[in-house]
Amino acid sequence: MKLTPEEKEMLNGKHGRAAQKSMEILTTLGDIFEAESMVKVYGVQIAGVSYANLGEAGLEFLNEMAEDGQVKVLTTLNPAGMDRENWQALGIDEEFAKNQNRVIDAFAKMGIITTCSCTPYLIGNTPHYGQHLAWAESSAVCYANSVIGARTNREGGPSALASAITGKTPDYGYHKENNRHGQVLFKINTSINGTDQFGVLGKLIGDKLGALEKKIPYISGIPEASVEELKSFCASVATYGGTALFHMEYITPEYDKYPKPSDLIFEINRDDLERARSELIDEDNEIDFISIGCPHATIHEIANIAKLLKDKKVKKEFWITTARPIKKLADAAGYSEIIENAGAKFAADTCCVVAPIKQRFKGIMVDSAKACYYGRAKNKFKVKLGTMEECIKEATK
Ligand code: F3S
C-alpha cells in the first residue's frame, strides 16, 4: 500500500504503540483486499462491546490499546451487555456488571463516546452523503451505506478501533465508486408497511441473496418507507443476506446513480411475504418475554409504545431497548413514566440479543426479523414476529 508520511510514522511507532498496532491491523487488511492507499474516515462505530462476547481476552486487547491510544475521530459504541444504570432490574448479575464496566472504562479511556447503541445515526454520529466511515454493526453499516449514502465496509471490532485511533481505513470495497452499483433487481408487487413487514422483506431478499455471489439488491415498487421501517429492513437484510448496501428506487440517495440491474430479476408477491413471515413464527411458543427496539427504538417508536400502553399493565417481561440519549428524550416527554407505570422496562445501552439472557425465557415476541434470528440462534428462545400493536396486545393480555 502507498502510505502518506504520517501513516508511515504511525506504522513505525512514532505515534505510540496503539497507533502502531492499529496501522499494522489496517495495512494487513489493506494488503488482503488489495487496497492501494488509506482513506480518511469521518466517524467510527465499534461493535463487540458486550463482555459476554469479548471475555477476558478481548478486554486484555482493549486495555493494551488504551495504554496510550486516543481516538482521532468521532467514535461511538454498539450496545453493551446491560443497561448501565438499571442492570439490576433486568436481572444481570453483579460479576457480569463489574466486567462490563471494565470494558466501557477501557473504551472511555481512549476518548470513545460510550453511548452504546446500534443506531449511532440517531444520536449524533450522523454522517452525511459520501463521507467515509469505519463502522462495525451490520445494521448500521447497511443504513449508513444505503439510506445515508455514506461509505463504509463492514468492519470488525479490532479494525474499527484501529480506524478510530488512526483516523484511516484501507480504501477498498464500498469506499470505491465502482463497487456500489445494484446487482440484483427485486420488484415488489405488494404493499409493505410497518417495521415487522419491512423485516420480513429483508429476510426474503436476504435469503435469496444468501445463495448468490452478488450482494447488492436494487429494490423497486416501494412507494415510501419511514426511518423506522428502513432501520428494520437494514437489520434484517444484513442478518439474512450479509448485505451492506442496497438501493431502493425513489427512496435511497444513490438509486439513480448507477444503471438498474437488468439480468438478475426476482418478483416478490404477497404469497412470498406470507411464507417468509410464517418462518418467523414458531409453533407452541409459550411467550414470556416481549422486546421492542431492534435496532434501538427511535423516539417516535417510544411515543407509540406509550400511547398503546397508557392505562394498561403488562403481564410479561417487556423490554424497550434504546440508546440512552433517546431514553432521556422519552423521560422529558413523559413517555417513560407511562411505560414504566405499565410495568414495562427500559433496557437502554443494551438489547435482547447482546444481554446475557440465554435460555432465561421460553419464548420471545418481537417486531424485528433480526431479533427473531438471534433469539433462536443465540438465546435458544422460541420466537414470534408481530406488529408493535400485536406485541403490546400479547404483553398485556
Ligand atoms: Fe441492535 Fe441488538 Fe438488534 S445490537 S440491531 S438491537 S440485535
Report the pocket of ligand 1 as residue ranges, CB < 6 Å: 78-79, 118, 139, 235, 294-296, 321, 351, 353-354, 370-371, 374
Measured CA to CA in angstroms, residue 94 lies from 45, 49, 91, 99 at distances of 27, 17, 9, 9
* pLDDT at residue 214, rounded to an integer: 83
Q: Compute the distance from residue 277 Cα to the ligand 1 centre, in Å.
A: 20
Residue nearest to atom 3 of ligand 1 (CA): 294
Question: In angstroms, what is the span from residue 178 Cα to ligand 1's centroid?
Answer: 30
Q: How many CB atoms lie within 10 A of CB 368?
A: 32
Beta strands 38-40 and 168-170 are: antiparallel
- Report which of 96, 99, 135 is spatially closest to residue 119, judged by C-alpha positions: 135
Closest by CA to 249, choosing from 228, 226, 218, 225, is 218
Angstrom distance (rounded) from CA 41 to CA 380 = 38
CA distance between the termini of the chain? 61
Sheet holding 265-268, edge to edge: 247-248, 217-220, 184-188, 265-268
Whole-prediction pTM value?
0.97
What span, in angstroms and rounded, lies between the C-alpha atoms of 35 and 21? 19
Closest residue to atom 5 of ligand 1, CA basis: 295
Distance of alpha carbon 335 from alpha carbon 346, whole angstroms: 11
Q: Which atom from ligand 1 is nearest to the alpha carbon of 295?
A: 5
CA of 39 to the centre of ligand 1 (A): 28
The per-residue DSSP string of 16-60 comes to: -HHHHHHHHHHHHHHHHTT--SEEE-SEEEE----HHHHHHHHHH
Do residues 101 and 193 lie in contact, with contact meaning Cβ atoms separated by under 8 Å? no
Instruction: Give the pLDDT of residue 210.
Output: 87
Distance in Å, CA 156 to ligand 1 centroid: 15
Strands (E), the chain: 38-40, 43-46, 74-77, 133-135, 168-170, 184-188, 217-220, 247-248, 265-268, 287-297, 317-322, 345-348, 363-366, 382-385
CB count within 10 Å of CB 312 equals 16
Ligand 1 atom nearest to CA at 118? 1
Q: Atom 2 in ligand 1: which residue has the minimum CA distance? A: 351
Specify the long-range contacts of residues 331-337, CB closer than 8 Å, at least 24 apart.
333/299, 333/303, 334/306, 335/299, 335/302, 335/303, 335/305, 335/306
**Pocket mutation for ligand 1, best pick of 46, 53, 117, 118 (most atoms within 8 Å of C-beta):** 118
pLDDT, tens digit only, all 397 positions of the chain: 999 999 999 999 999 999 999 999 999 999 999 999 999 999 999 999 999 999 999 999 999 999 999 999 999 999 999 999 999 999 999 999 999 999 999 999 999 999 999 999 999 999 999 999 999 999 999 999 999 999 999 999 999 999 999 999 999 999 999 999 999 999 999 999 999 999 999 999 999 998 888 889 999 999 999 999 999 999 999 999 999 999 999 999 999 999 999 988 999 999 999 999 999 999 999 999 999 999 999 999 999 999 999 999 999 999 999 999 999 999 999 999 999 999 999 999 999 999 999 989 999 999 999 999 999 999 999 999 999 999 999 999 9
Q: Which amino acid is at 80?
A: A
| 354 within 8 A of 52, measured Cβ to Cβ | yes
Atom of ligand 1 at shortest distance to CA of 374? Answer: 7
For a ligand 1 pocket test, name from 78, 351, 366, 367 the mutation site with the most ligand atoms within 8 angstroms of its C-beta: 351
Q: How far apart are CA 62 and CA 107, in angstroms?
A: 7
**CA 214 from chain center: how many Å?**
22
Contact 366, 385 (CB under 8 A): yes
